[in-house]
Amino acid sequence: MRFPTVQEQLDIIVGNVVEIISTEELEKKLLHSLQTGKPLKIKLGADPSRPDLHLGHSVVLRKLREFQDLGHEAILIIGDFTAMIGDPSGKSKTRPQLSAEEARENGKSYFEQASKILDARKTTICYNSDWLGKMTFSDVIRLSSHYTVARMLERDDFERRYRSREPISIHEFLYPLAQGMDSVHLKNDVELGGTDQKFNLLVGRDLQREYGIAPQVCITMELLVGTDGKEKMSKSLGNAICFNDTPNDMYGRALSIPDSLIETYCRLLVPQKSQPLAEVLEDLTSNPREAKRALAREIVAQYYSLTAAGEAEEHFDRVFVQKKAPDNIELFLFDEPSFPVIDLLIRLGAAPSKSEARRMIQQNAVALDEEKITDTNALVPLDDEPKTIRAGKRKFYKVATKKTF
RNA sequence: GGGUAGGUAGCGAAGUGGUUAAACGCAACAGACUGUAAAUCUGUCGACAUAUGUCUUCGGAGGUUCGAAUCCUCCCCUACCCA
């Protein structure tokens, strides 16, 4: 296998990278692999307790893909062991305790989603329970003796929580160590992560050194800001665009980002810009609308297809710009010949309680075939011909009776 | 083991015997506006009935009282300080 030259590789690797610790070591490693023909091992950790990948993950996954394309070995580590331990303090609901089966299942799903970006055939997958699960208590004590509490408290979220008197349980200190042990076990050359992972990556580097292994190069990638334009993208904050979102959702969410984020998104998410997108970006300031629409199409096209992107745009224009009903609405069939609106809304799942349903009606959010329902006691007659129920601006249902023969 | 401060609606946080279903902020939902599912503005936001109605909530279990999130007892949980 012929590698590109060290410089050629570096030029690609530095894209969207925030920090490389250290560049000199990376150069040496690249040179060595070039001379020996041995690819570098590139590690990326995956948290199976959050199996819904979003565009934030794509930034670092894409970097891993670049390494693959340069001929290096991509290793995806599923952190099933740590996910199984969970977080007994109950403070972090984002890290629920998983059973072994769930962890495996999520790991599989993670890999499937990641394959939208990675070259799946060339990706090695490992489950860290394979080695962490075999460690004895004395192994763990030996491991923890390599690190001090003061060093742990250097991590800013630990420090913040300690200062604001939030609980930190001991096992949380073990997480970075466990992650570091992955690096010791794999003897990887490089580990990738977001800037928020810097501390953990460095622990891996330290531990490798402690255990007499060549320390890994740590590469941190820019974090993607979520659609709210404020916090980092995260499923739990509701500002994420997920790999598994429908094309319609993906398109709509992409359009909802603030205009100031358009350039960043293009840079981090669309490395190979299509001709139309590049052109529109030229006059971004004069026409942010077109730029954002092009960006949204491009994103949908990456995870689905150009056709799907076009359809998503049509759907969006129809429903949100022209405020018409979409053309493919789910049809619900009932035995009953009529329903009080309130009950119907609940049956359809449009409202969680009767009070909520009543409120929606009072707020003019409910319409039957484009005609607003204002009476909370109204009866909706059903027949064979489907009628369209709209609840709010986003929820549409078609209702009809089951045909009896 | 000793001490201090706490546990209130999805989250954060007021409220210390009686118009308190419980201020306020965030989230959520709806409406208006917009190129947008953004931003902004307005409204709603325990449940069930709707005309001024009823029921269930303030860590848990008991108790005092005409009446308790608010007082008492016991228990559970959390943070911090001292050992």
**Confidence bin at A376 (pLDDT 50/70/90):** confident
Nearest DNA or RNA nucleotide to A312 (CA to C1'): B37
Is the pLDDT assigned to residue A92 strictly greater than 50? no
Cα separation, A74 vs A125, in Å, equals: 9
Any domain includes A314? yes
Of A286, A320, A354, which residue sits at a domain end? Answer: A320
Residue A363's nearest nucleotide, by CA–C1', is B30
In a domain, A393, yes or no: yes
In eight-state DSSP terms, residue A146 is T
- CATH number reported for the structural domain that contains residue A198 in this entry: 3.40.50.620
Q: Are A67 and A42 in contact (CB under 8 A)?
A: yes
Nucleotides of B under 7 A from a protein CB: 27-31, 35-39, 43-50, 78-80
Q: Residue A254 CA to nucleotide B14 C1', Å?
A: 38
Residue A405 scores a pLDDT above 70: no
Task: State the average pLDDT over residues A205-226.
Answer: 94
Task: Tell whether A159 and A102 lie within a shared domain.
Answer: yes
- 3-class SS at A45? strand
Do A298 and A181 share a structural domain? no
Residue–nucleotide distance: A387 CA to B53 C1' (Å): 35
For the cut 60, the answer to whether the pLDDT of residue A87 exceeds it is no
Residue A229 counted as domain residue: no
Say yes or no to pLDDT of A322 above 70: yes
**Which of A299, A320, A341 is the C-terminal boundary of a domain?**
A320
- Structural element, H or E, at residue A253: helix A247-255
Element (DSSP H or E) covering residue A20? strand A17-21
Residue A198 (CA) to nucleotide B10 (C1'), in angstroms, measures: 32
- Do A314 and A358 share a domain, yes or no? no
In a domain, A395, yes or no: yes
The token pair that represents A333 in the structure block = 């069939």
> How many contiguous H segments (helices) and E segments (strands) does chain A have?
18, 13
Name the residue closest to the C1' of B43 by its CA.
A363
- A242-290 pLDDT tens trace: 999 999 999 999 999 988 889 899 999 988 777 777 777 777 777 888 8
Residues A164 and A60 in one domain: yes
Residue A88 lies in a domain: yes
Domain tally, chain A? 3
Would A232 be classed as within a structural domain?
no
Torsion of CA A112, A116, A118, A123, to 10 degrees: 20
Pair (A102, A60) in one structural domain: yes
Q: Which helix (H) or strand (E) holds A178?
A: helix A170-186
Q: Is the pLDDT of residue A94 over 50?
A: no
pLDDT at A81: 87
Distance of A71 CA from B29 C1′ (whole Å): 51
How high is the pLDDT of residue A248? 92
pTM: 0.84
Looking at the structure, tell me whether residues A278 and A374 fall in a common domain. no
Domain co-membership, A128 together with A271: no
Query: What is the per-residue pLDDT for A339?
Result: 87
* A374 and A300, same domain (yes or no): no
- Please calculate the CA angle A166-A171-A172 and round it to the nearest 5 degrees: 50
Instruction: Name beta bridge partners: A389.
Output: A368, A397
Residue numbers of the domain that contains A11: 6-221
CA of A371 to C1' of B12 (A): 40
Residues A337 and A208 in one domain: no
Check whether residue A18 and residue A54 sit in a common domain: yes
Give alpha helix (H) positions in A122-197: 129-132, 137-144, 149-152, 156-163, 170-186
Structural domain ending residue among the three candidates A320, A342, A369: A320
Q: The tokens of A144 are what?
A: 């923890």
Both A127 and A249 in a single domain?
no
Which residues interact with strand B by a CB < 7 Å criterion? Answer: A 89, 162, 165-169, 228-229, 238, 248-249, 251-253, 255-256, 258-259, 288-289, 292, 316, 320-321, 342, 352-356, 358-360, 362-365, 376-377, 391-395
Which nucleotide comes closest to A377 if you measure CA to C1'?
Answer: B50
Q: Is the pLDDT of residue A93 over 50?
A: no
Give me the CA A319–C1' B49 separation in Å, rounded.
35
**Residue A233 included in any domain:** no
A226 domain-assigned: no
Are A86 and A207 contained in the same domain? yes
